[in-house]
Structure formats: structure tokens, C-alpha cells
A and B are shown apart, each in its own frame.
Chain A
Amino acid sequence: MQLPPAVHARLAGGPGAAEPLPVERSPKAGAVPFRFTARQVRFPREHEFFEDGDVQRHLYLQDVLTQVAGAPERPRVPEFTCQVAGCCQVFDALEDYEHHYHTLHRNVCSFCKRAFPSGHLLDIHILEWHDSLFQILSERQNMYQCLVEGCTEKFKTSKDRKDHLVRRHLYPADFRFDKPKKNMSPATPRATVQVSAEALGAEGEQVEGDAMEVCSEPAGERHTAGRRVLFVSEYLLPSVLVKGHHEDLKAPRKEINTSDD
């Protein structure tokens, strides 16, 4: 198929519509026995017109058409240690470190050291476990928010919330990131249900440590009176990682307790 050079030139040119030639129709056009009418066409989803293109799409997905490699070979670097105080994990690949950092150090509660998979869950945790105002307010209004992003429901008790999660959102009854508060001070009433600790792990055995608890701290850690709070700043991470994650590091919530070292 030969295209006139004007076509390529036009593509490279600026936007604009052609000044249309005058339209002048005769009533005889398309009149019986003829039937042509200019009309736009639409095709619904399952129409066979799409068969060829759909097949090509699925060949692509199945990696036959365009070979797409899986995760590329990870470059190894000289061994380095996690810089977060108290953590002594060693790594030789940046991607492993990235996942470690995000899993264990990123969304960490500065009060009780528990780590959470997302900022959203951390926020809810801090509110419900460490905010005394929350306890007071929750006696008078529904304060326990649904954990599912996008759902705005709130509940009187953590049990009600759990029921909602199970019934409305089909969450498992033993969802790991919805542990009721333990070790409550005597002043607050025990309005929550004890979730069986053996819900996880086979044969009633507990998986070590509490859900997402940072286990690098020794069990009997005491909080020093004037605890030093350190904001995660760039020098704690290998500088290479920082470039890609710079935006991630801005939130002020990333306080981490450091013990005097």
C-alpha cells in the first residue's frame, strides 16, 4: 500500500481540520431499490468482529506472542545491614531490602512497635489503641471504622466492626489485621471479643510473635522516660534506594523509637 508523501507530512504538521467541501444531497441517493445511508457503527463486546484482535491480545497474555520475562536477575551488592536501630538483618540485594523495610519498618506504631502493611491500617491502629480521646468518644458515638478502603461505615464496638467485615465484605473471621486490643487499662471496659490466637498456624500452634509485630526487639523492652524519637531520614537508607522512594519518605508519621545506643 503506497501512501502519498503528503500523509507523512500532514502527520508531522500541526492540528487542524480540513475545510469541508460543500455538501449537497439529492433525495434520489440511497432511494429504493438502493439502501445506503452513511452511519456510524458500534460493536458490542462479544461480537465476532473482535475475534482476531482478542485472540492476539490473549496470545500476548500467554507470553507466546511477545516473550515477557519474569522478574529480572537481581543484581547482587556487597552485603549491608538494615540501618534501623535494633534490626540486624543482612542483605545482598536491594529488592530484598526494600521489601523488608516496607514490611517491618515502614508503618510502625511508635507506641507499641507493631508493624502494619499500610499507612491506612497503622492510622486506625494508633487511633483505636493509643488515643485516649478515642476511648471517650467511642462511648458516645460510632468510632470504629471499617477497614476496607472505600467503605465509610463506622461502628460502636470492634466486634460490630468485625461482624460487618465478615458479613458485608466477606472477610475471614480471623483476619490478622483486626486484632482486638489486648492489655487494656482497667479503666476501659472490655467490649471486645478475644480472637483465638490459634486461628493461625496449623494444629493450634501460634505462629511466632503477634501479627506483624516487629520481633527484633527483645521481649522485655522498657520505654525509657525521655525516649528519643527519630524521624526516618535519608541517611538511614542506602542512598541508592532513596532516589526511587523519595516521595514515600515525606510523611511525618514515621517516628521510630530508638533506644539509647
Chain B
Amino acid sequence: MWLRRQGCLRPAGCGVEELRRRRREREAALRKARREQQLISKRLLRDDAPEEGEGGCVAVILGQAEIQQFLQLAQRGTEEKERGRALVSLRRGLQHPETQQTFIWLEGSMRTLVGLLTSNQALLQLEAARCLHELSHSEQSAVAEACLPATSYLLTYLSGHSSDFIELCLYTLGNLIVESEAVRRQLLPQGIVPALAACVQSPHVTVLEALGYALSQLLQAKEAPEKIIPSVLGSTLPQHMLQLLQPGPKLNFGVAVEFAWCLHYITCSQVNNALLITHGALSTLGLLLLDLAGAVQRTEDAGLELLACPVLRCLSNLLTEAAVGAVGEQMQLRDERVVAALFILLQFFLQKQPSLLPEGLWLLNNLTANSPSFCTSLLSLDLIEPLLQLLPVSNVVSLLVLTVLCNVAEKGPAYCQHLWPGPLLCSLLGTLAFSDTEVVGQSLELLQLLFLYRPEAAQAFLQQSGLQALERHEKEAQLQDRVHALQQTALHS
């Protein structure tokens, strides 16, 4: 169930340090891209089986004459295998950006390639599709846009049956989709959404993963909320997506990752989340969360966070929908196990991916804010102390932890009774020493609630030098009023 394809695209002679360095570079580039709202990533499906006699996988730069030669051979050669080999050579060349440029500017080249793509020779079709795939992966817009003449055929082939071929077409489409709005302006009227909806019934997991990828690229587009998501929601895709996310023996990790991200792009666009809720999104995702927590317990597998992240986000956003109150008991999220699962994941994040802690805590906030039941679960499962252990991680995490604790405390004396005596007060004295104003501010809010519903806590606070802890913030504009109020409360207790 949790098997993933794992292979090695590691270039020869690459040490661990080198890989780490490259990863840091990529990460920095991606952060920059995201801040500029230019986050584009393409997936390359490259058959790495080395041919006999080949040295490495070095891309060869082909000149105009060579390209023409290969194309002619592919078109008019006598033997199918020979024609196929010509296209393989062309494809190798197309791995290089310079060859790509030469190719697209060569008159008739794309037309010939499309002709081969739609020919009656299966092998040539496949090889032509691979050439197209290389082009689609280019980072240069002009190259990817040169593939536009092929899109109607790629979409037509999605209704075919050859799974490898369909997979290739889907990845190619996915790469083209993300390239530019111009490409999408062509693909949408060409019927990409119905084509994907028809394809989602394929029994092949490789096809489904590719489909999820292509769809996620489509949904990530800037204009998606207005121009794409409504038609996706109007198709049969949402039901199928949720089916593919149901835990069980048929769940495939790679497929689930893609569709979870699809669902995230849909939910965070706030187009019609009520519809997803009526399809049972909350209960499906809740069960998936439980499943993930179970998997995390069984294996130290790094990579599960790739699925956990979008699931958490979807749940958090869906919970804010007013529609939640309107659907039946079945469709809501009330299961206490979700809290247990969430903490198991938080523990996992702390070790493997601390940057995801805020997202997990965001869900915890949305679960507890309006739910006495979930707040009670936090107390009965003894989760206050583990929560406090997260305080030192970062300011964002501290703020979220304190917010969740406020959610619990504000429910009244019955809840605060379980918050003190206990480690909470000591932790608060600690957070009062933080430099971040927001963290301190939230600590003050929590103290107010605690003193209000549990007056004895105020006395203990005094005895543990609480007043001194407050004093350091007396001059801070954002905090002074609250500091003074608390000082008064403590002194009068």
C-alpha cells in the first residue's frame, strides 16, 4: 500500500555532500520563485535504460543538418526499427537546450514530429511522443509553446488504452500546462478537463499518478479559481479524486500525493468547498490522516510528509466552511482519533520536517477553536505537555501552540481546572521572556483566561516571580495595557 517507486537518477560520481549542496540551491531558487509567484516545476519522465555502447547520459548538441537528417530518416526510412532509432537519436539531442532551440526554429520540424506522433506506426508514435516530452520539459517558454500544435492529439490519445503512452502524454501535457497562460488558453477549449475526467477511470496507477500531476499543474494556475476550478468541480473529477484518496489496500502513495495536492489547490481557492464536503471530503481525509499516522508509527520513512502536508491543509481549510454544520453526522469530522493522529504526525514532523509544524498546528487550531469535544480530547489524552514541548521550536510555532491553549482555556473553568496545576504556568513564565511581541502578547491572553477561570493560578504566578516577568514589557506599546491589567489581577488575587 505504501510502496513508492524508488530509483536512482543520481549522476555518476555524485557524493552526498554534492547532492545536499544542489538541494540547498534548488530550495533557495524555489523559495525565490514562490515569493515572486512564479513557482513552476516540471516533471521529466526519462527512460534511463542505457543503450548498449553508450557512454553516459550526456545530451548531445545537434545542428540543423543533423536534426533534418534524423527527421527525414524517421519519416521515410524503410525499416521501422531504423526509423525509431533516428527518433531516439533526435530525442537524445533534444535533452540539450541548444538542440531544442535549433529544432523549434527549423521550418517544418514540429509539423513532421506531429505527423510522426499521429502515424500508424506504434513505435514511431511512442518515440515521437518522447521527443515531444523532452521539449515540454524545457525551461524556455518558446520551446514549450512550440509544442502547441500537438496538444489536440495528446488530448485525443488520453482516451486510448496504451497505458505507457497515455502516461507519457499526461506528463507532457502537465509540463505544457504549467508553462504559460497562453498554453492553457488553448488547452481549456480543446477539452482538457473532460479528457482528464474520462482518463481518471483508468485502472493503471502509473496513468493515475501522471493524471494527478497534470491536473495539479492545471489547478495551480493563477487563473484557476475563475477559469478552471469551476469546470473541474462540475465534472466527475472530485468524486474520483476522493475515491483515490480513500485508505485501504488500493491506496497508492504516488497517486495519493498528486490528488491530495489537487484537492489542496481546489480547497484553498475557496470556490465551492461546500460541494466537496457533500462528497464526503472531510471523512475521507480524516480517515487518510489516521492512516498516515499509522504508517508513521510503523516506518521512519521520510517522504510521508509529502502526503501529510496537503491533507492537513485541505482539512484545515474545509473545516472553516459553514457547510460543515449543515451536513449529516457522517460527513463531519468529530472523531477523536484525528487528534491522536495529528499529534503522532507532529512528533514525526519535529524529527523529519519541522517546517511543517505550523501547518499541523493550524489544523489543531481549526479543530479546537469551536469544539468543546476536541478541547476535551486534548485534556483527556494528556496532550498539553507534549504541546508545550513544541514551544522552543520557533516563534510561529510558539504562537500557534499558545493559540491552541487559549482555545482550550477560553471554554471555561472546567477546562482550566486541567490546565493548572500543571506545567503550563512554568512554560508561560518562559514565553514571557521571548523577544517576539506577538508571542508575548498571546501569552498574556492565555494568562488572562487562566487567572479568570482559575484564580489560584494567579497566586502561584506571583510566587514564581511572575510580576518581574511582566515588568520587562511595561514599556512595549502593543503590550502595556494588557501587562498592567494582569499585574492588577495578580496583585488583587
Contact = CB atoms under 8 A, between A and B. Distances in A.
B376 interface: yes
Interface string A179-213: 00000000000000000000011110101010111
A214 interface: yes
Given A6-B381, A55-B34, A58-B41, A69 B5 contact: yes
B458 to A, nearest CB: 14
B190 A63 contact: no
Contact of A55 (B30, B195, B335, B379): B30
A261 interface: no
A227 interface: no
Nearest to B337: A11
Interface string A2-26: 1110111011010111111111111
Contact of A149 (B26, B108, B191, B389): B191
Nearest to B6: A67
A73 B52 CA distance: 13
B179 interface: no
Contact of A66 (B4, B10, B334): B4
A92 B330 CA distance: 52
Given A59-B26, A61-B42, A176 B153 contact: yes
A215 interface: yes
Interface stretch (A115-123, A132-140, A228-236): A115-123
A207 B123 contact: no
A18 B306 contact: no
Identify which of A36, A74, A171 gathers the most chain B CB atoms within 10 Å of its CB.
Answer: A36
Nearest to B350: A1
Given A36-B445, A169-B191, A115 B120 contact: yes
B250 interface: no
A214 to B, nearest CB: 7
Contact of A29 (B194, B305, B410): B410
Given A66-B6, A200-B111, A172 B372 contact: no
Contact of A23 (B198, B369, B412, B446): B412
B452 A28 contact: yes
Contacts of B44: 63, 70
B129 to A, nearest CB: 10
Nearest to B22: A64
B320 A40 contact: yes
A45 B149 contact: no
Contacts of B203: 244, 247
Contact of B108 (A4, A74, A150, A202): A202
A15 B335 contact: yes
Contact of B414 (A15, A24, A58): A24
B189 interface: yes
Interface string B155-172: 011011111110000000
B226 interface: no
A42 B41 contact: no
Contacts of B69: none
Interface stretch (B87-95, B309-317, B460-468): B309-317
B482 A100 contact: no
B407 A63 contact: no
B430 interface: no
Given A11-B337, A13-B337, A96 B112 contact: no
Contacts of A40: 319-320, 365-366, 369-370
Nearest to A67: B9
Give the bracket for the number of chain A residues in contact with chain B.
35 or more
Interface string A156-173: 000000000000111110
A156 B65 CA distance: 47
A45 B379 CA distance: 33
Contacts of B71: 202
Contact of B383 (A7, A8, A168, A215): A7
Contact of A11 (B5, B265, B293, B316): B293
Given A21-B372, A150-B193, A201-B115, A177 B309 contact: no
Contact of B453 (A26, A55, A59, A98): A26
B465 to A, nearest CB: 22
Interface string A235-261: 000000000110110000000000000
A51 B31 contact: yes
A219 interface: no
Given A40-B320, A40-B370, A30 B410 contact: yes
B3 interface: no
A223 interface: no
A124 to B, nearest CB: 12
Interface in A100-158: 100-104, 106, 115, 117-121, 148-151
A52 B303 contact: no
B126 A99 contact: yes
A225 interface: no
Interface string B5-38: 1111110000000000011001100110011010
Contacts of A11: 290, 293-294, 297, 337, 340-341, 344
A83 interface: no
A80 interface: no
B481 A33 contact: yes
A41 B108 contact: no
B141 interface: no
A73 B335 contact: no
B327 interface: no
B47 A207 contact: no
B455 to A, nearest CB: 12
A24 B410 CA distance: 9
Nearest to A105: B122
Interface string A81-105: 0000000000000011011111110
Contact of A172 (B149, B198, B380): B149
Given A21-B414, A150-B191, A57 B309 contact: yes
Given A10-B336, A98-B163, A200-B114, 5 more contacts: A11-B293, A33-B481, A53-B356, A55-B34, A103-B162
12 contacts: A20-B371, A40-B369, A40-B370, A41-B320, A61-B41, A69-B48, A70-B45, A96-B123, A98-B163, A118-B157, A170-B190, A175-B152
Interface of B: 4-10, 22-23, 26-27, 30-31, 34-35, 37, 39, 41-49, 71, 75-76, 108, 111-112, 114-115, 118-120, 122-123, 125-126, 149, 152-153, 156-157, 159-165, 186, 189-191, 193-195, 197-198, 203, 213, 225, 254, 257, 261, 265, 268-270, 290, 293-294, 297, 303, 305-306, 309-310, 313, 316-317, 319-320, 334-337, 340-341, 343-344, 346-347, 350, 353, 355-356, 358-359, 362, 365-366, 368-377, 379-383, 385-386, 389-390, 406-407, 410-415, 442, 444-446, 448-449, 452-453, 481-482, 485
A-B complex: 5 closest residue pairs judged by Cβ atoms: A69-B7, A150-B194, A20-B372, A118-B159, A33-B481
